[in-house]
Structures are given as structure tokens and as C-alpha cells.
Amino acid sequence: MTRPVDRSAAAAAPLRTALHGLAALLILSSGAGCALLPAGLPSFEPRHESTARIVSVVHAPLDTRRFDAVTPATEVLGELQVIHTRHEDTFTDLARVYDLGYAELRASNPAVDPWLPGAGTPLYLPTLLVIPDAPRDGIIVNLPTMRLLAFEHTDGAAGRTLRVHSHPIGIGREGWETPTGSMQVTQKTRDPTWYPPASVRAEHAAAGDPLPAAVPPGPDNPLGRFRLRLSQPNYLIHGTNKPGGVGMRVSHGCIRLYPEDIESLFARVALKTPVYIVDQPVLAGWRDGELYLEVHPPLAEDTRDLDAEAARVIAVALARADVVPAAVNAALVAEVVRERRGIPVPVTRAGLTLANWLAAAREVQNLAPARLEASGGAPSPDG
């Protein structure tokens, strides 16, 4: 069941206190941010209640794998979308179709059974995102969001802009954490052979599942068909022979992508491309003069107070704004932090609630085939 939302003033007290000292910084930028979509932000009239509409308009899904004409001022990408499930759908199948990860679908839809969602259940697609705080000159990996952004410069009529490619990832499980830091791509390999490290072979041997010293290219190779070696020793960005593990913490520290995503990334990435791996569960960014707050469940080993982290991130965002004084909706901030759905919400909009924002999601077609055989089996804790 969905956790009940406490809308009392007391529920917002911790964030209200934390935000009180930011009053002098409450300014909006009329020029900060850039909507990437031709349509404006949707209204906040309920779209999924039959009493609130006469005609239901179901759109084609937006392509959220690639964003064009991104400028240095752009801080928020995409748009929140919603589909209606069929009885045979599963989160792993739907995640693959919409280029999402399993964990982010779970966080965005905490009340929905990932294996038996039921027919006609609204399922929110977390295809709206805030760009992490990192340089935009290569690859950004944000561990809590389990998402990789790849930036490339493009030249067009509007001048030099960025194209951003967005892909879900699998990362290292507890005890085999993916490291943070700045590194670069040092090697590209097609159809790699996997040489399991001694520590991985020892773990498998102890579990009664011994590994060979080398696994050749092919369907049993957990690296998939493409490998990018990083300057951090023993860490890779690679494909997988178990796509169901994308969007989960299942690897020995490497970063895995869907086969189609790593093939695309491999073709675009050059040697010495910078890679920035960050741990940012709380993100804030501007779009059309509104401040969006995005909060994810932190990694299990992360001990930060998310209320305090939200106040800090909001303060930083307000400090870089330009013009118009405004107020932060403290009750909404508290709700977004408490729910941790990984969905950006405009927290400078007075009177808005999370329920209002979800109800305004763009309704799109469910494109999952009846059975998606390519979704792969159980995730493999390798690579």
C-alpha cells in the first residue's frame, strides 16, 4: 500500500526550519533552464480521474534516450509520462521498452506490484530528470539514480549546443561498490573476453559455482559485446547477457547497460573521454523559472540526512538564480523528500502537491509487446 501522506504543518516542520535561513536567497531566474519539449508544462487538473475529463488523449511516448539542442542553461530534461499496464506486463519488460531501470520504476510506483501490476493500473515513467552537478564534457554516472548521461557537442542553426544521451545502468552491489571520482575511458573493446578477477573467482568458488580463468565472447559472457575500460583499475562500462539486472545493484562494481545502449555508447565515445561518477541522491534544477527537486532513495551505505541534503541543494540552486523573489513550498519539499520517488517536482509552485503533479503526467501508449523475450533472465552478479 502507498504510505499515507501527512499534509499537516507538523509534517513540513523539519524542512520549514531548514529552509527558513534561505529566505534571502529565494530568487527565481526568468531565463534559467530550457524546456526541451515543444509543448509547455501541463496543467494540474487530474487527468486520470473519469470525473475530471471527457476525452482521454493517449500520446505517443517521447524519446527520452536522446535530448537535442541542450544549452549550458538547461538543467532539467524530459517530461513525466504515465502508461496503463496490461495484466501480463512486468517491470523488467516495461523498463527495457522505455529505457528505464528496474529500481527507478519501483521507486516511482511504490504501490504497484512489479510482477503482477494488474490491468489498467497507472504506471509512472520517470522520464523527467535533473542533470547532476558535474562537468558536461563527457559521461556523468549518478549512482543513486542508476543513470548515465553522455554529452556530445553539436553545431546547428542555433549555434553550438549539446546533445545528451540518457541510459539506465546497473551498478556494484553492497561490498562491491562502484567507486566515485573523475576518470577517463582508456580502452574500447568489441566482443571482449572476460578475465574474472581473483576475488570474483574466489567468491564463485566458495558458492560452489567455479569460474574459468577466461570467458570467451558469446552468450555466456557477462560483459556482453562491448566494453569500455576506465582509468580506475579493474572497472568497466560494458553490456550484459542478463538485461534484467540493469537498474539494479548486482555487479562487482562495474557499470552495465542494456545491449542496445552500450552499442550506441560504444560508437560515440572516444578514448580519453572524461567519466564523472557521482553520488547525488538529491538534485535541484531550474526550468522555465521554476525550481525542480528530485529525490531518490540513497545507496544503502549512504548515511546522509536527506532533509539536510535537500536544504543544501536548494540553497545552492537558489544562489545561482537571477531575478524574481519567490517562496519555496516547504510542505511539498518535505513530501518529495519523504516519498523519494525519483520524480522531479517544481517546488516553487504554491499550493502544488505530489498527487497534483503525478495527475498531470503525459499519458502515453503502452508499447510493450505481449511477451518480451529479450528481457533476459535473472541478473548475474558479474562484471
- Paired strand residues for 189: 227
Pairing relationship of beta strands 362-363 and 81-84 according to DSSP bridges:
parallel
Q: Is 204 a catalytic residue?
A: no
State the Cα torsion 239-181-128-356 to the nearest 10°: 130
Closest of 72, 110, 64, 66 to residue 91, by C-alpha: 110
Question: Which residue of the set 34, 167, 252, 254 is catalytic?
Answer: 254
Rounded CA separation 28/139 (Å): 29
Pinpoint the alpha helices (H) of the chain. Answer: 13-20, 91-97, 102-108, 198-206, 259-268, 306-319, 330-339, 354-359
Question: Which residue of the set 84, 167, 238, 252 is catalytic?
Answer: 238
CA-to-CA dists, residue 85 to 89, 149, 182, 238, 364, angstroms? 6, 28, 40, 31, 11
Rg (CA), the chain: 21
Q: Is 238 a catalytic residue?
A: yes
Pairing relationship of beta strands 181-190 and 226-230 according to DSSP bridges:
antiparallel
The residues that are catalytic are 238, 254
